[in-house]
Every structure is written in C-alpha cells, then in structure tokens.
C-alpha cells in the first residue's frame, strides 16, 4: 500500500524544484552525493539550531514547517581547512615571532568569507608548534578532511556544538545544496515524527552538544562571533506523517546510544544505521509506488571464497531492488493518466492547453512547447526518468557501498555482501546483552529484510525449495558465525548452540 | 596372533562404524563378545549420586556436547536405583524410577527424542519447579536442543522464568539455575586433561592386552617390532602422557572442550593408527605385512596423535584441534640443526640431544629410512630424497615434542615446536600458579601490560608501569591514538592495579582495577596470552593476527567505558593531553594548555 501523503509545500518562484515527482514520493529531498556522514552532520546542525529555539525534534508549527539557521563558523574553517602551509612554516622559520608572522601573512592572503583577522589566536597558545599540533589533530579527525572537496565542504568531527556548521559555496558562501542537499532535513523530520525525539535528544546531547568537552572547547577558542542575521532555511518536505520506519530508526538509535560505548565511539555506528534506514526508506517507498508492496528482501552473501548459489541470488536481489525506484516514477505518472480527469481532458475541446495545465498542477512541470497531450506526456515521462537517473536513482548503489552493505568483491556485478564494520554496527544495534544466533538471523530479517540463513531463505519467494539452495544458505550462515567469532562477537557453546554477544552490554 | 580385544578396541577409533562411541552399542557388544569395555571413572557420576541420596534432592539437567557421556550417566543412575535394563531399552522416552526415599525420579535420557506432545513434560517441570512441589527430574540434552526445546514451549511466566535461569547458567557457566531447585551440570565444563589421564589408564590397564605378551612381534628390535605393541609401550611413558595432557590442558583453559568420545578416538588412533591399512587402523592380521614392507614405523604414535595417518574427508574434531598447535610444522633453527646435522653436528650440546632423543630409538627415531634420507639430504643428492627427508624431519619434530625430558624443555625452547611459543610458560607460570592460588610473577604482568599499551596506543612503547588509555580524539579503536584519556597504575595505587587471577569459573583472567571498585576483565586464554606476549616482543599487532587485534581493541573500549564511569573534576583551563614517546620508548604525556578567547559567544 502507499501511505497517505501530506499536502505539498509552497515555494517562492525561483526556489521551486523543476518537477514534483521524486519529491512527491521521497520528499524534498534525497540526494545520492550526500553520504550518510554528511546527512548526519546536516541533521546535527539543524538539531542544534532547533534546540536553541527549544524545539529540538519537534515540529511545533505543524508538518513540514521546519525553519532553522545553522552556524557557519567560517573563521574556524579557514584555520583548519584553508591553511595548508603550517608544516612548511614550522620547518622554515625557527623563531616563534617569525613563525606567527609568516603564518598570519599567509592566512590573511588566502582567507575566504571572513572579515576579522587571525592575530588574536596567538594569545591562546604557548607556542606556534603546539598550535600546529592542535590543528593537525582537528584536521586528521575531520570528516571529508582529506578529500579534495572545496574547503567549505570539509567538516570538523562533531566534538561538540562549536564544531557544527553548514556546507557552503566556496565563493558566495551560501548554501548551494551541494553536499547538504536536505537529506539531513528528511532524517531530522523522520525522528521528529518517530515519537521518540525527546529520548534521542537526551541521549545525543551529552555526546555532541556538550560545550565542556575538551576538544569542543579547543575549537571554541578558534571561533569569533558571527553575524547570525540570516534568512532561515525552509522548505524541507517529508511526505508522510507517519511511517513504521520512523520509529524503527529511533528504536535502533536508542539501542546504540544506550549501549554504553565510550565517548564518540558510538557515532560511526549511529551514522551507519542512519544510512541503512535512509536506504530502506528509499527502497520501500520505491517498491510501494511500483507494485504496492512494502516488503524488502536483501539477500546477503557472507563473502565466500568461491561462487555460490547465495552469491547469484544476492546479485539477483540487488538488481531487482535496484529497479523499483525507476518503476515507481513510471507508475506514479501512470496513476494520474489513468484518472478520469486526464481522460476528460483528452476528449475536451481545448485539450492541449488543459493537458499542459494538468501536468503543471500535478507534476510542477511545464513542457517547452504546447503540443498534443500524448506528446507532452511522453516528454514528461522522459524528463522524469532522466532527472531520476541523475541522482536519486543512484542512491541504492552510492549509499550502500560506503555503508559497507554492498560490494563488488570477486564479481563484476554489485551484490549485498556486508563488511565487518557493517556487521559490527548491526550487532551493537540489534543485540542487547546476548542473542541466540538463529534468533539474530531472524531479527535481521524482520527488521531490515536481510536474508542470510536457511529459515529466512525459506520464507522468501526468491529461492525454490531445492535442497542445495537451502544448504547454501546454511553455509552462508555458518560463514557469518565464523566472521562474528573473529570479531569477538559470538560465543559458541557447542556445535549446536551459539550466542551473539554485544560486548558493551553483556554481563 | 589374533587378539579379539584389539578388534573390539578398534571400534573406538575414527572409523565410520565407531559403534563403541555410543553407550547403547557398547552395552550390546559387551554382551555379545564377552569383552570388557574401557573402564574409567565418569565425571559427575559421584556428584549425581550424592544429590539424589539427599532427603530433598534437586532436579538435574545434564548438558554438553555430543559424546560427553550424558546417556551413560543417565543409565548409571537408572541402574543405581534398580531400574531394569529391559525398561531402559524399551521405546518409552520418559522413564520413572524410585529413589531411596520412595520419591519418583523422572528420567529423560535425550530430550531431542521426545515427540512434540511429549515435550509438555517440560511444562510440568516448569510448574513443579515454580511451586517447588518436590517432583524430581533428570534430563539430558545437548545445549542447543535444550534451549530450542524451551523456546518452542511458548512464553508462560513459569516457562520464561525457568528458561532464562537455565540460559543464564549455561552462558555464564554456573551450576545453580536461578532460585529454582535445579542444577545444571554442563559436562563440557569438565577438564578434558583430567579425563584423558583416566582414559589412558583405563586403556593401558585393560586385560585384553595380556594376550599380546604371547605374540612373537612383541619385541623392540628395530624393524621387527609390532607398532601396536610399541605404541602401547610408549603411551605408558609418563613424559609422553604429561606432554599430551598439557596440550589438552591448554585447550581446557581456552574453552576448547574435548568430549569423552573424542578422547577415546584419540587414544584408539594413537595406538592403532597406520596410513597403509584399512580405515587407517591396524588389526593384528596387518602386522606381518607391515613389518615385511619396512613401513611399520609409519604407524608411530607421535604422528597418530595428530591424525596424520587418516585419510578422512573431515577429521574428527580432536585432531583438528591438536593440529591447531602446528606441531611438526613449526620449529626453530636450533632444533632443526640438531635433527638435521645429527651425529655429525660440531656443536656438542646439539649432538648430545640428538643422541639422547633421536638416535636412542631405532624404531621411530633414527631408523634406517631416516638416516638414509638424512645423509642424502645433507649431500644434496636429489629432490625426491629431499621431500622424503622433509617429511621425516616433520615427524621427528612431532616425536621430539613428546620425548624431550622436562629439564631440557627450556634449553631446547621446546614450545617453539608449536605456534604458541609462550605455551610452556602459560602452563607453568600462569595455570599452575592460579590453581595453587599463588601470585603471577611481575615480569609476566609487565610483559602483558607492555603488549596492551602497544595495542591501546599504537606506539612502540616499553612502558610497563601503567596502562595508558588513549584515543585518536574521536575514536578509541583507531590504529594510532595520541590523545590521552588517562592511565592506570599496574602496581597497587589507591584502588588501581592490574592483576592476573582466577575467575568464578576457575579460568584465568586479567583484571584492570580502577578507583571506586570499578574493574574490567579480560579472560586470558592461550591465544590472547601468546598475542600480547608476541606484541610485547616486537610483533606488529594488526599484521600478526587481525582477529586478536580486534579482540584486544574491543577490550580497550570496555576499559575506557569503565574508566569514564569514574567522576573526574572539570579542569578550569582547556588542556589537551598529547601522548608521545621519550628517548627510552616510554609513554609520556604532553599537555597543551589553551587559553580561551575573551569574547563571549
């Protein structure tokens, strides 16, 4: 079934998306180049802004009314990410004064987007060398810090509230939605509607919003006061008021945030699980619109040394899931053209103009020229398909790979083949204290649709009941057992009995 | 000669019809052939009897792996209380016998044999345990079936409570199940090395061997000796027994349990194994041909112990486990020089060892085949001979492991013949000390702490006075960690200390004690002990063993989580503690003070 949709939001003329099809199905908007980490950082910068207003994880003005003003912190970002010559200055200059002066001259020359100078920083540090160490530490722990992205798209690790800011254009210093493309807004709204926003805020606060954490304080010393009188960001749109997926995400996050991992260690897992849920959201809405079912099955190969039945089925299931979103677009348009309204238009006198109006109203799209309704419809379909293929259609592959869910190892085609770090995140999320291994497999199937063992395979329509196939799944599960043993996450009592252990919560 | 006992004993070995591995089959065979089975004291039998003669006995669940002797114990109890063999052998799966006090004991010798409708008996059991109405049960099941049976019963309050009590006892290695009058005997917790000693004794003392004394092949003369007879003789050697027991001891302390059935397979194969016979197990009829062929020595006990004679597609578990020690494949230059150069060795000490440990045995040691291939190898004659010698060399290493005398162990670094160089030390300086409630030497703790510090920080340090906790700033599991979180004194200071001690299950653990009674502990089995020692010695953690590396990192994160439970005052200045090494490779802290900017934000 397709869940009921909330009313479309209103845009100013110059801001509206060029078409309203992807957005109608998935929201405004999912974007393939915004990796799970960047989604999480966008979410945090929204949450910080909203928490300051006393409405963290709450849509107080009604659905899809989010309006927030993220921090920019360009001064800090210049120092950490637009300041490449510190090592050179350290080796070329020997005197303390010489180092500071050269550095100030360098950074003044290259600074971007800031008015205030950097001279006052020297007062905070005992020596230039210590200053250089600290900057190196911040840089080495950053997100995308070593990528060749523009300096305004590199991010400090979220040590605390003074490390959170938005992605910006490197010349205009406006949010051009390049990497903070609103996927974080959708994730934020999902949690708002999960029914557990307060609890999550309470659990996240001591990790990412604690001002007194040493590294946050350190970044704070690099900050200067910034002009906050900007127009707030608006027009986030999550189409569904209520989905079971929202609570599932919240439930998983709470499990992770309460399992007692030290310090920031939990964050990579939080990001992975967020990415997984966003991916499932994408796949499920796609399938619902394509064939009406919300069921997702992802056959996972626990990587085997050679080709197996599971590998083939895993490739098949990946490819099948990959088609849903494109089918969804097609079906979405189809549904409108099967309506009486459209049929009436076709038989009306002024059919071209009426059809153009209809298309404009339903899909926010204007054909280049007024022509026959069928021609315009064809053009709409083609444009919609192309637009979808550019970014949203790539989400499945572009997100699943950095998550560690999908791989090409040993094959030409992509398939579900989880990595160790992905498996770890699953164990920490799903297992509280300990869980019998078969139950663990079943839980992964129930929550995420992962098909790993024979019982899960039997429950799907993907495989015949051929004995060999079931045996292959049995061996697949055995490989998972071995992997978990090697990660210290499985305790085998005998050949008949094994428990998956969460080392953080188990007694 | 044709000894009927040997034919019977053969069935204990790794053959497809190893009938003697099942209590039911042994009873039948004993009746039919009038041969006594191998007798040894079964673990827990005495405790079981002691329980059931109490005025108010507890119900008992016997669990363990296949081949642990569950059925045997049930039958012994059945017969002890006068249950008839006929009833025992009939088809009913739930049987009753009267205890001495007249109360009925319900016996289920194998839970997995129950039909669905019969499983309701577990519901009755849960109810009667909850009400404590005095009904008594003795149930045997392997651990997987046990938990599965309870899971399928539904989730009434009684069942859930009993199930989770059993599960706790099972996973945490406890005997008492919650507050119920119910004990769980996990046969897999019994020390295999102790059992092995009893089995060897039972086998060696079996009356069936007496017939062998009459046999013309019962001689030690080189090349004329019956390998079965010779192997039995060598099995009686206390040094051999001790070395083998030590291997099992190491398994026991690494939670690798070997059930009775596997130990019987091991000993039967040790005596009867030969690669050139049917099922690779010798019968009396094979002996003359083997002696004639000059290959009798291939059935030597030292190779048989590792199942080298077997051509099975899947080796029995015991051999897989023992092969895990790598004995035969691992070596040191010193030992290989000693074996290869032999009697011609210019180093007198090595030559002496060769004469004492290799040349002294012309059946399995320096026999003709060995000597011939050795000289061919030394003279570099041909590749074929070289292969023969390399195989013989590997067999000599295996043999040496079992014959070298106690006082030569250190000088030879005998454990270098296994993948665990520190195994000998682990036995003598850790397990033995723990068993005797004695302290572990400071040098050992220092070494382990050094290993932990190298893994925790990612730096090549020699620090042993404190355990350092560091992260990369945002991640504790990073390869290199340069931000100090804190340090814990190894020698007792306030409540801090690091010690190695016995845990509740009698196993070895390394405990990091912190202030306020907070502690984190690491079960210190052989693999971890070896890993930490090797890292302290200079091995690179992640390249030596990724599995162990992950394992210790996960411990680090537990220590850190505990450490952060200790409240600490917030410093007034911003201080970031960087970690570095001083010129002697000791970890030192380098605090960087940062003055906060004046502007209010």
Give the best-scoring range by mean pLDDT among A131-135, A446-450, B13-17, B84-88. A446-450
Residue among B491, B485, B492, B480 nearest B559 (CA): B485
- How much is the pTM? 0.85
Q: How far is A44 from chain B (nearest CA, A)?
A: 16
Q: How far is A120 from chain B (nearest CA, A)?
A: 8
Q: Which residues pair with B487 in a beta bridge?
A: B468
The 10s digit of each residue's pLDDT in B83-104 is: 888 888 888 889 999 888 888 9
Is the confidence at residue A414, as pLDDT, over 90?
A: yes
Residue A193 and residue B342: Cα distance in Å, rounded? 80
* A395-403 vs A309-337: helix crossing angle, rounded to 10: 140
Return the residue of A nearest to B569 by Cα: A212
Is the confidence at residue B381, as pLDDT, over 80?
A: no
A138, A218, A265 member nearest B475 (Cβ): A265
pLDDT score, position B478:
87
What average pLDDT does this structure show over A492-507?
Answer: 80
pLDDT score, position B20:
59
Residue among B234, B249, B233 nearest B196 (CA): B249
pLDDT score, position B143:
83
Contacts of B531 (CB under 8 A, 6+ apart): B451, B541, B544, B545, B548, B552
What average pLDDT does this structure show over A428-454?
Answer: 95
A460 class by beta-carbon count within 10 Å (0-12 exposed, 13-18 middle, 19+ buried) = middle
Which of A247-251, A328-332, B132-136 shows the lowest per-residue confidence on average (mean pLDDT)?
A: B132-136
The 10s digit of each residue's pLDDT in B173-199 is: 889 999 999 999 999 888 999 999 999
Other Cβ atoms closer than 10 A to B505 = 12
Residue B244 and residue B521: Cα distance in Å, rounded? 30
CB contact under 8 A, B475 and A141: yes
Q: Report CA torsion sign: A165, A169, A175, A176.
A: negative
The 10s digit of each residue's pLDDT in A451-483 is: 999 999 988 876 665 666 888 999 999 999 988
pLDDT score, position A226:
77
pLDDT score, position B86:
86
Residue B558 and residue A124: Cα distance in Å, rounded? 35
What average pLDDT does this structure show over B529-551?
Answer: 89
Q: Parallel, antiparallel, or unpaired for β B508-513 and B497-502?
A: antiparallel
Is the confidence at residue B375, as pLDDT, over 50?
A: yes
State the first-to-last Cα distance of chain A, in angstroms, to the nearest integer: 43
Residue B291 and residue B591: Cα distance in Å, rounded? 77
**Alpha helices for A393-466 (secondary structure H):** 395-403, 420-430, 437-448, 454-459
CB contact under 8 A, A497 and B188: no
The H or E element spanning position B44 is: none
Is the confidence at residue B32, as pLDDT, over 90?
A: no
B505 and A CB contact within 8 Å: no
Task: Using the structure block, give the residue that is written with the tokens 């992964």.
Answer: A444
Is the confidence at residue A397, as pLDDT, over 60?
A: yes
Determine which of A269, A494, A501 to mutate to test the interface with B (most B C-beta atoms within 10 Å).
A494
CB contact under 8 A, B474 and A159: yes
Q: How far is B151 from chain A (nearest CA, A)?
A: 11
B142 and A CB contact within 8 Å: yes
Residue A325 and residue A396: Cα distance in Å, rounded? 9
**Residue A175: pLDDT band by 50, 70, 90 thresholds?**
confident
Residue B332 and residue B348: Cα distance in Å, rounded? 18
8 Å CB contact between B324 and B410: no
| Percent of chain A that is helix, strand, coil (3-state, to 5) | 55, 5, 40
**Residue B19: pLDDT band by 50, 70, 90 thresholds?**
low
Average pLDDT of the residues of chain A: 92
8 Å CB contact between A475 and A325: no
Is the confidence at residue A382, as pLDDT, over 50?
A: yes
**Residue A313: pLDDT band by 50, 70, 90 thresholds?**
very high
CB contact under 8 A, A265 and B483: no
User: Rg of chain B's alpha carbons, rounded to an integer?
Assistant: 29
What average pLDDT does this structure show over A202-221?
Answer: 92
Other Cβ atoms closer than 10 A to B40 = 19
DSSP B273: B
What average pLDDT does this structure show over B372-400?
Answer: 89
Q: How far is A127 from chain B (nearest CA, A)?
A: 10
Q: Which residues pair with B579 in a beta bridge?
A: B589
Is the confidence at residue B564, as pLDDT, over 70?
A: yes
Token code pair at residue A480: 């998972």
Residue B242 and residue B240: Cα distance in Å, rounded? 5
Residues of B in contact with A263 (CB under 8 A): 471, 474, 476, 560, 564
8 Å CB contact between B12 and B20: yes
**Residue A14: pLDDT band by 50, 70, 90 thresholds?**
low
Contacts of B31 (CB under 8 A, 6+ apart): none
Contacts of B488 (CB under 8 A, 6+ apart): B466, B467, B469, B496, B498, B512, B513, B514, B559, B563
Q: How far is A151 from chain B (nearest CA, A)?
A: 21
Is the confidence at residue B474, as pLDDT, over 90?
A: no
pLDDT: which is higher, B541 or B432: B432
* A467-486 vs A420-430: helix crossing angle, rounded to 10: 90
Q: How far is B490 from chain A (nearest CA, A)?
A: 22
The H or E element spanning position B570 is: none
Would you give the distance in Å from CA B322 to the centre of its chain?
Answer: 9
CB contact under 8 A, B471 and A212: no
CB contact under 8 A, B576 and A137: yes
B 563-592 residues with CB < 8 A to A: 563-564, 570, 574-576, 578, 592
A221, A493, A503 member nearest B596 (Cβ): A221
CB contact under 8 A, A126 and B558: no
Contacts of B106 (CB under 8 A, 6+ apart): B94, B95, B96, B121, B135, B136, B137, B138
Q: Report CA torsion sign: B461, B462, B466, B467.
A: positive
**Residue A223: pLDDT band by 50, 70, 90 thresholds?**
confident
The proportion of chain A whose per-residue pLDDT surpasses 90, expressed as a percent, equals 73
Is the confidence at residue B601, as pLDDT, over 50?
A: no
**Residue B600: pLDDT band by 50, 70, 90 thresholds?**
very low
**Alpha helices for B253-367 (secondary structure H):** 260-272, 287-293, 301-304, 317-323, 333-341, 348-353
Which of A275-284, B20-29, B569-578 shows the lowest per-residue confidence on average (mean pLDDT)?
A: B20-29
pLDDT score, position B246:
97
Which of B37-46, B225-234, B349-358 shows the lowest per-residue confidence on average (mean pLDDT)?
A: B37-46
Average pLDDT of the residues of chain B: 90
pLDDT score, position B571:
65
Is the confidence at residue B595, as pLDDT, over 90?
A: no
8 Å CB contact between B356 and B348: no
């Amino acid at each position: 079934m397709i869940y009921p949709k909330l009313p479309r939001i209103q845009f100013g003329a110059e801001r509206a998306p060029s078409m309203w099809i992807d957005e109608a199905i998935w929201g405004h908007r999912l974007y393939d180049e915004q990796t799970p980490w960047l989604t999480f950082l966008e979410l945090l910068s929204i949450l910080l802004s909203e928490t300051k207003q006393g409405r963290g994880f709450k849509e107080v003005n009604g659905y899809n009314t989010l309006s927030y003003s993220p921090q920019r912190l360009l001064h800090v970002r210049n120092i950490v990410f637009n300041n490449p010559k510190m090592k050179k200055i350290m080796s070329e200059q020997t005197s303390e004064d010489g180092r500071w002066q050269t550095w100030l001259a360098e950074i003044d020359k290259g600074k971007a987007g800031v008015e205030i100078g950097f001279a006052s920083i020297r007062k905070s540090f005992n020596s230039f060398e210590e200053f250089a160490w600290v900057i190196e530490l911040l840089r080495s722990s950053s997100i995308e810090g070593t990528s060749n992205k523009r300096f305004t798209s590199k991010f400090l690790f979220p040590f605390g509230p003074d490390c959170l800011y938005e992605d910006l254009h490197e010349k205009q210093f406006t949010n051009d939605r390049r990497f903070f493309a609103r996927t974080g807004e959708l994730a934020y709204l999902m949690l708002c509607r999960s029914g557990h926003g307060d609890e999550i805020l309470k659990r996240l606060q001591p990790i990412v919003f604690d001002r007194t954490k040493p590294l946050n304080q350190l970044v704070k010393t690099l900050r200067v006061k910034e002009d906050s009188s900007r127009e707030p960001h608006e027009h986030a749109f999550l189409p569904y008021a209520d989905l079971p997926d929202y609570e599932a995400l919240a439930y998983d996050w709470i499990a992770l945030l309460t399992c007692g991992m030290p310090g920031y260690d939990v964050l990579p897992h939080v990001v992975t699980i967020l990415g997984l849920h966003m991916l499932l959201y994408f796949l499920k809405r796609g399938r619902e619109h394509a064939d009406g079912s919300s069921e997702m099955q992802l056959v996972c190969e626990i990587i085997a040394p050679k080709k197996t039945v599971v590998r083939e089925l895993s490739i098949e299931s990946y490819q099948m899931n990959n088609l849903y979103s494109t089918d969804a677009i097609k079906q979405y348009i189809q549904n409108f053209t099967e309506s009486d309204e459209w049929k009436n238009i076709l038989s009306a006198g002024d059919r071209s103009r009426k059809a153009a109006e209809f298309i404009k109203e339903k899909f926010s799209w204007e054909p280049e020229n007024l022509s026959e309704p069928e021609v315009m419809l064809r053009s709409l379909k083609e444009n919609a398909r192309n637009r979808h293929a550019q970014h949203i259609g790539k989400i499945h592959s572009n997100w699943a790979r950095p998550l560690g869910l999908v791989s090409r190892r040993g094959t030409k085609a992509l398939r579900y083949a989880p990595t160790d770090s992905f498996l770890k995140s699953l164990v920490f999320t799903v297992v509280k204290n300990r869980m019998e291994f078969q139950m663990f497999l079943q839980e992964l199937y129930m929550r995420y649709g992962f098909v790993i063992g024979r019982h899960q395979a039997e429950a799907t329509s993907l495989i015949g009941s051929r004995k060999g196939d079931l045996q292959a799944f049995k061996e697949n599960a055995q490989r998972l057992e071995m992997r978990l043993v090697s990660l210290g996450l499985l305790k085998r009592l005998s050949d008949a009995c094994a428990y998956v252990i969460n080392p953080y919560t188990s007694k | 000669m044709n000894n009927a006992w040997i034919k019977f004993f053969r069935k204990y070995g790794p053959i497809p019809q190893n009938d003697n591995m099942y209590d039911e089959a042994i009873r039948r065979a004993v009746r039919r052939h009038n041969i006594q089975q191998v007798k040894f004291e079964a673990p827990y039998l005495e405790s079981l009897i002691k329980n059931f003669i109490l005025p108010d006995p507890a119900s008992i669940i016997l669990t363990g792996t296949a081949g642990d002797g569950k059925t045997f114990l049930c039958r012994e109890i059945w017969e002890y209380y006068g249950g008839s063999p006929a009833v025992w052998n009939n088809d009913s799966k739930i049987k009753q016998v009267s205890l001495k006090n007249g109360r009925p004991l319900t016996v289920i010798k194998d839970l997995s044999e129950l039909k669905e409708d019969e499983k309701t008996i577990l519901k009755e059991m849960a109810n009667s345990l909850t009400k404590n109405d005095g009904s008594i049960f003795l149930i045997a099941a392997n651990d997987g079936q046990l938990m599965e049976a309870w899971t399928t019963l539904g989730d009434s309050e009684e069942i859930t409570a009993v199930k989770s009590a059993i599960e706790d006892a099972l996973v945490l290695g406890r005997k008492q199940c919650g507050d119920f009058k119910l004990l769980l005997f996990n046969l897999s917790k019994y020390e295999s090395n102790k059992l092995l000693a009893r089995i060897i004794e039972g086998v060696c003392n079996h009356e069936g061997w007496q017939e062998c004394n009459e046999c013309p092949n019962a001689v030690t003369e080189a090349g004329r000796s019956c390998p079965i007879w010779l192997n039995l003789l060598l099995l009686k050697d206390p040094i051999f027994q001790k070395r083998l027991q030590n291997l099992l001891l190491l398994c026991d302390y690494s939670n690798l349990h070997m059930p009775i059935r596997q130990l019987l397979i091991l000993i039967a194969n040790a005596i009867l194994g030969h690669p050139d016979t049917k099922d690779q197990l010798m019968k009396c009829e094979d002996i003359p041909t083997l002696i004639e062929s000059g290959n009798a020595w291939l059935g030597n006990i030292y190779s048989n112990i590792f199942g080298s004679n077997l051509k099975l597609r899947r080796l029995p578990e015991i051999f897989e486990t023992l092969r895990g020690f790598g004995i035969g494949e691992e070596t040191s230059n010193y030992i290989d020089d000693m074996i290869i150069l032999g009697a011609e060795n210019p180093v007198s000490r090595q030559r002496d060892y060769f004469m004492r440990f290799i040349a002294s045995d012309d059946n399995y040691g320096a026999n003709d085949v060995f000597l011939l291939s050795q000289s061919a190898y030394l003279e570099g004659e041909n590749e074929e001979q070289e292969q023969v010698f390399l195989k013989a060399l590997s067999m000599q290493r295996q043999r040496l492991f079992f014959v070298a005398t106690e006082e030569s162990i250190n000088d030879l670094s005998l454990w270098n013949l296994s993948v665990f160089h520190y195994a000998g030390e682990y036995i003598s300086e850790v397990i033995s000390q723990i068993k005797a409630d004695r302290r572990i030497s400071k040098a050992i703790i220092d070494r382990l702490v050094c290993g932990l510090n190298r893994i925790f920080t990612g730096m090549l340090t020699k620090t042993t006075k404190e355990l350092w906790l560091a992260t990369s700033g945002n991640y504790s599991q990073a390869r290199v960690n340069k931000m100090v979180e804190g340090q814990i004194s190894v020698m007792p200071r306030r409540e801090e200390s690091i010690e190695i001690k016995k845990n509740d299950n009698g196993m070895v653990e390394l405990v990091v004690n912190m202030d306020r009674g907070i502690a984190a502990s690491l079960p210190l089995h052989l693999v971890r002990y070896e890993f930490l020692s090797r890292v302290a010695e200079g091995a690179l953690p992640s390249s030596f063993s990724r599995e162990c590396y992950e394992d210790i990192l996960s411990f680090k994160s537990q220590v850190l989580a505990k450490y952060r439970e200790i409240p600490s005052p917030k410093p007034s200045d911003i201080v970031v503690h960087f970690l570095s090494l001083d010129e002697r490779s000791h970890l030192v802290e380098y605090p960087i003070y940062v003055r906060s900017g004046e502007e209010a934000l």
